[in-house]
Amino acid sequence: MRLHPAWVDLALVLAVLAGAGLLFVGASTLPPPRFEPMGSAALPRILGGLLVFFALIIAIKAIWQLRGRTDSNVVSDETDDTTSRPSAANSALESDTEESALTGQLRGICVFTCLILYIVALDILQWSFIPVTAAFVTIVGTALSPQRLQALWKFALFGLVLAAGLYLVMTRFLYVDLG
Amino acid sequence: MNRYTHTTDPAGRPGALSQACRTVRRVSRRTACKLAVGALLATSLSGNATLSLADEGSYPSKPIRVIVPFKPGGRTDTVARLLGEKIQEKGWLSQPMVILNADGGAGANAVNQMRRGDADGHTAVHWHHQLLISIAMQLGDFTLDDFKSVGYTGGGSPVWAVREDSPYNTLQDLIDALKAEPRSLVEAVGIGTIPHFVGAMLANEAGFETRYVTASSGADRLRLLLGGNADISLFAASEFIGQGEGLKALVYFGRERLPDLPDVPTASELGLDVSWANPNWWLVPADTPDDVVAQLAAALEKAIADPEIVEYFNNNTLEAYWMDGESAMADAKKTLAALKPVADSIK
Amino acid sequence: MLDAFITLFQIDNLLFLFLGTALGIVVGAIPGLTASMLIALTLPLTFHMDSVNAITLLIGQYVGGISGGLITAILLRMPGTPASIVTTFDGYPMAQNGQPERALALGIMASVVGGIISWLFLAGMSPTLAKFALQFGPWEYFALVMMALVMLASLTQGSLVKGLMAAALGMAFALPGIDNSIGRARLTFDMDALLSGFGLLPVLIGAFAISQILRESAAPIKASTPINLPKKKLPVQFKDLKTFGPNMLRSSVIGTWIGLLPGIGANIAALVSYTTTRQLSRSPEKFGTGHEPGVVAGETANNASIGGALIPLITMGIPGSVTEAILIGALTIHSLQPGPLLFQNAPEVAYGIIAAYLVANIIMLFLMWNAVRYIAAISQVPRAWLLSTILVFCVVGSYAVNNNFTDVWVMIAFGVIGLGLELARVPLGPFVIGFVLSPIAEEQLRGSLMMSDGNVAEILARPYAMSFLFVALLTLLWPLIMGQVARRRHHTRQEPNS
């Protein structure tokens, strides 16, 4: 069910190559050096070149791994990163709750969508800060709680207090204009 | 963050909060909810109330947002805050002025903030001639047509300084040296900022050329000059005086000598037609009605004449004067025309 | 000086200092809110205060803010301030290994020691050090930052290629915006929103906090465990002070010294001292897995850099960081022009700053030491409460920097990027540090070239710059040298060398 890391690497390679392409395109429109010999375009080009170089190395490694996969299922040399991949994967294995990884991912997507909607409401719709924030905290808090119904009103109250408190301090004392 | 500014407001820490919630629940679940909802309603209602007042045309009907395109603490920010407070203290406008700092993007961020607000006099910008430079360099999608000028509330001019142990004692010494040996001296400037433009205007007028080293702030210029990594730089007169030792001013860019620096000649005295006065310029969106602008201008004009404000200006080598909106715009257009050739020359 | 302390111990000043430090710690600890933001936002409040009160409040916030960052860096792997990025490398693994209190206590101890040692420099040798720092021009800055960049490469764990790529990616993201060396837009693709580039704060919170929150919210929900505070004694003893003595001394010197250089700042100080400590260590491979000296090195240096940065501020009126630029603003509002004349015109303020810095460190120790157990309990607060609150703070905080929603969207975008990078096992540390360092390196190099009319050889006449490049080279070759040494030792001596 889990993707082979080499595929993830290949996706990374594609994204990085696209980014490097952007760098080259952007650099091509820059004026020639004016005050010093380097100019604005030098660093984007250097970085673009480096990114392509690194991406190719990773791509070659990944393809090599995918080919060799038929021989053994062991994920080869890159099982190193214990520190930068904390709890998420490990605790999924340890956890004795019955929920599947899929529900977890759904919840993650739900939180992310809420976050986007929250900012859309504040920025584009320019809705009032307090109710929007309270609603946001309520939804996210509830989604992350084990016992949903009990959590709902707790988070509604908490969200309201948090939003009102922040609003008061920000606008009254600190002159930040919220929404 | 700053919910903690006031110790009576415990809103932030999750721990404290849940504690508070628990306590509240114990007292009365219902009342707490009602109170909270009531508070919420009251807030949104009062917002609506002020809005409806605005329709009746009594200006100002809500706090005036003054956008400052810099981080807090600089001159533009400080002057805006001082004038705003003075106006509120004396009641020259019925609502307070709220300063909003929108730094970044050569002012584009501030202009976007201004466009978010209504053009009804409750949105204003306090800027200086960096605005003209942004326009001359075509940074950001704004021109002077996007603004209506309220007026200048005073301003100040900079000096050109060298290190105290520098062999050049007058501007003429310096120009002679640079003419004898072009590009032999290093000038600390931020490319495309006021120091760069003022220096370039002087260089064009007198016919010399310097090398540059990038310095993104006044502090950077000071550091490079004092440390011997640059030979010349531009400073606000107050920065120069505050430094006290280590620097020597060669020329002042104001139209007349500064009382605090009686020995520093102006450029025009030296036969060079270059002057630079950086005003505190108040602007509103172009569509703002004239009667509203007039009321704002009247309040600002009173504020800049206030003795306390005048004293602050004097202490900081700024001139306190009032120039009305139209004259200010005319002056700015003239300056912009002078900046354009310099901007073209560094494109 | 003594007078300054006496003034400081007036009840109102002490109160403001206390308030400022406490506020700073809390704000520093909250991902999304930083010390410089706090100071910027409280600046207007100081208008009506007495100038000494105002300064003590702001200094307290400054010290507290840098120190508070370690809390969330250790417990949640979300650095509260940029200066605490390296603290996540070892602090978070320590906390995960069941030693959150030990990690916190070490971090606090290191912070205080760093603060006090740099205070000694501040109080004792300000004028000398300031003169020394002034000699540093663009070449030296460039060489110093290059050194830090090379050290960065040696920091990466796991795949070296991915580490380097992370750094290059971070550098690429720092490119858009107005190019200071020509004063025009670069790589903005005609979008006004990109003119000011990606802000450090949104990028940092996005890459660390938002991505971490999203990952955590996707993890299965555990029934909340009751919070039980251990009653045992604090897990740091006097002997730790001795064990880490050399480390702390070295890190303090590095921190103070890098802090001295305006515009370089606490982030780089922490990074350089962390790498140096790692390079000199007998067991460099342990760094990044919850190794105690790693926490100590970073936290000592970032606090020490404040003392260093105050030196050019009070002797010459040159601010070392954004935070200090705002401090200068606070002085000018009170009609005090910072600079050498400050000691004559307003000695109570000039010495007040020095005295307040020391006392703020002590207050910070007092506050955090007593609270450490409760702070450690944060990691046991149910996730629903913690994550929803932090999300709101991240949004409000990144908006409040410049009153700008673009920053909020940038934060979200970098949250997604951070998540993607982690998924592909590309480390975030080099990514963010590359992002911080490369604009300085580029601007300084191009500034140097402007100054020298394009003559690269001029760097040869700059002894400090050359020595940084030498250290950079040494860093690159160090693993080889150590390998050789170890092999030779192995040959000549039979018994293992402890």
Encode pLDDT of C225-236 as tens digits.
444 455 555 666
> Hey, what amino acid is at C344?
Q
Q: What is the pLDDT of residue A178?
A: 61
pLDDT value at residue B132: 92
> Which residues between 19 and 38 in chain A have a beta carbon less than 8 angstroms from any beta carbon of chain B?
31, 34-35
DSSP C20-84: HHHHHHHHHHSTT--HHHHHHHHGGGGGGS-HHHHHHHHHHHHHHHHHHHHHHHHHHS--SSGGG
pLDDT for C218 equals: 83
- What does the alpha-carbon distance between residue B7 and residue C378 come to, in Å, rounded to a whole number? 21
Q: What residues form DSSP beta bridges with B233?
A: B161, B188
Exposed/middle/buried for residue B10 (C-beta within 10 Å: 0-12, 13-18, 19+): middle
pLDDT at residue C234, rounded to an integer = 60
Residue C386's pLDDT is what?
Answer: 85
CA torsion, ordered A170, A172, A173, A176, to nearest 10 deg: 40
Q: What is the pLDDT of residues C304-359, one digit of tens each?
A: 999 998 888 888 777 777 778 778 878 877 777 777 777 777 888 888 888 899 99
Q: What is the pLDDT of residues B117-168, one digit of tens each?
A: 888 889 999 999 989 988 988 887 889 999 999 999 988 899 999 999 999 9
- DSSP code, position C282: S
C-alpha distance across the termini of chain C, in Å: 47
Assessment of whether the complete model's pTM goes beyond 0.90: no
pLDDT of residue B199: 93
Identity of the residue in B33, B44, B98 whose CB atom sits nearest the CB atom of A175: B98
List chain B domain ranges.
5-50, 64-156+278-346, 158-252
- Angle (CA) C270-A89-C415 rounded to 5° is 50
Asked if B112 and C180 come within 8 Å (Cβ–Cβ), the reply is no
If one counts every other C-beta atom within 10 angstroms of the C-beta of residue A101, the result is 17
CA B183 to chain centre: 32
- Nearest residue to C206 (alpha-carbon basis) of C439, C401, C437, C442: C401
Quote the CA–CA distance of C39 and C321 in Å, as a whole number. 12
Per-residue confidence (pLDDT) for residue C328, from 0 to 100:
80
| Per-window interface: A 86-105 vs B, CB < 8 A | none
Give the pLDDT score at B328.
93
Cβ-based contacts of C69 with chain B (< 8 Å): none
Chains B, C: CB pairs < 8 Å: 210
CA distances from C94 to C74, C98, C225, C288, C325 (A): 8, 7, 20, 9, 36
What ranges do the domains of chain C cover? 2-497
Which is more confident, A68 or A1?
A: A68
Mean pLDDT over A1-16 rounds to 84
**Is A160 within 8 Å of B36 when comparing Cβ atoms?**
yes
Residue-wise pLDDT tens digits, B213-265: 988 778 888 889 988 999 999 998 888 887 777 899 999 999 889 988 999 99
Ranges of chain C whose pLDDT falls below 70:
1-2, 4, 8, 154-158, 221-237, 479, 482, 490-498
- Pick the residue with more confidence: B305 or A104? B305
CATH of domain B64-156+278-346: 3.40.190.150
Residues C129, C314: Cα–Cα separation, whole Å: 12
Write down the mean pLDDT value for chain B: 80
Tell me the shortest Cα–Cα distance from C226 to chain A, in angstroms: 15
**Contacting C residues, span 396-455, partner chain A, CB-CB under 8 Å:** 396, 399-400, 403, 405, 408-409, 412, 420-428, 438, 442, 445-446, 449-450, 454
Q: Give yes or no on whether B64-156+278-346 and B158-252 have one common fold.
A: yes
Q: What is the ipTM of this complex?
A: 0.82
Q: Which two tokens stand for residue B109?
A: 């961020």
Identify the CATH homologous superfamily for domain B158-252.
Periplasmic binding protein-like II (3.40.190.10)
